[in-house]
Amino acid sequence: MNSSTLVPPFWQKKYKDEAGRNWDKFYHRNSTHFFKDRHWTDREFEELRPGHDTFSELKNPVLLEIGCGVGNFIWPVLERNPSLFIHACDFSPRAIDHVKANSNYSTDPPRCNAFVCDITKDRLADLIPPQSVDIVSAIFVLSALPPEKQAFAVSNIVEIMKPGGRILFRDYGVDDLAQLRFKDGHKLEDNLYVRQDGTLSYYFSTERLRDLFVRHGGLVELANEYIVRRLVNVKKEIDSDRVFAQAKFQVPIDTSAIESALTSTFI
């Protein structure tokens, strides 16, 4: 049954303020064992396949993975694309330590730069050169942000992207099975919940993504859809859906549209 009672304001603030600490505790408990390496990403995003136009025309393509965790997205992509360089950031220092301790990290020449950054506060352009990134991957990370901080994160990302660069997005979609299963006491606001371990989980609609990336961010929408996977439990005679929101947005070649989007307000 879905929850109807909202978490009291004091606790809402506490969960939002302590998001970084709760994710760091998550990696303290789970180390590198929670998520599996994401070998499916090139199936969903052609840009991540070796030889795709995005990479073939560029000598040394650069990707930024935001909210990289312990690197489950990074390693398969690096392995498949030998000329690719990946910047990877996360606000959990423990997660970044795990990335740096991985045997794939310290190569010569270096192919990965991992650093601590809270994308809702720290300016990425102070940490890596502005307009230097061809692809940004946002894989199950924006759902960890409260909605009022998502627009800043988008502007922050856009600043370090090259004109023509692309954002590859996959995250939880509205009415995902996990959203419908939250019990009373977990809902903060529409589509925003807190898990048992104190981490937040937001469920995206395609309209919300369009508002964030197109209306606020000034980007061009290349794809924006729900991916639905039906789970069937024959014993319990229950069918339920995993719902993901998957999208791609591109920085326009003429960035004057973006400059005006960054100065505009977002509700």
Ligand X SMILES: C[S@@+](CC[C@H](N)C(=O)[O-])C[C@H]1O[C@@H](n2cnc3c(N)ncnc32)[C@H](O)[C@@H]1O
Q: What count of other Cβ atoms lies within 10 Å of the Cβ of residue 26?
A: 19
Among 62, 63, 67, 249, binds ligand X (CB under 6 A): 67
Single out the segment in contact with ligand X by CB under 6 A; choices: 2-10, 140-148, 173-181, 183-191.
140-148
Cβ-proximal residues to 243 (8 Å cutoff; 6+ apart), any chain: 172, 173, 174, 175, 176, 177, 203, 226, 227, 228
Binding of residue 119 to ligand X (CB under 6 A): yes
Binding of residue 139 to ligand X (CB under 6 A): yes
- Adjacent-strand bridge partners of 99: none
Binding of residue 144 to ligand X (CB under 6 A): yes
Nearer to ligand X, 69 or 217 (CB): 69
Nearer to ligand X, 246 or 255 (CB): 246
Nearer to ligand X, 200 or 255 (CB): 200
Q: Is 143 exposed, middle or buried (0-12, 13-18, 19+ CB in 10 A)?
A: buried
d(CA 183, CA 2): 6
Q: Determine the residue type at 233.
A: N
Single out the segment in contact with ligand X by CB under 6 A; choices: 87-95, 104-112, 183-191, 231-239.
87-95
Of 241, 227, 232, 234, whose CA–CA distance to 178 is shortest?
241
Contact of 114 with 144, CB cutoff 8 Å: no
Q: Is 234 exposed, middle or buried (0-12, 13-18, 19+ CB in 10 A)?
A: exposed
Contact of 178 with 240, CB cutoff 8 Å: no
Single out the segment in contact with ligand X by CB under 6 A; choices: 8-16, 47-55, 63-71, 180-188.
63-71
Among 7, 12, 15, 23, binds ligand X (CB under 6 A): 23
Would you state the structure tokens that stand for residue 232, as one six-digit string? 């069937």
Nearer to ligand X, 36 or 236 (CB): 36
Binding of residue 173 to ligand X (CB under 6 A): no
Among 91, 105, 203, 204, binds ligand X (CB under 6 A): 91
Binding of residue 90 to ligand X (CB under 6 A): yes
Contacting positions for ligand X (CB under 6 A)? 19, 23, 35, 38, 67-69, 72-73, 90-92, 95, 118-120, 139-141, 144-145
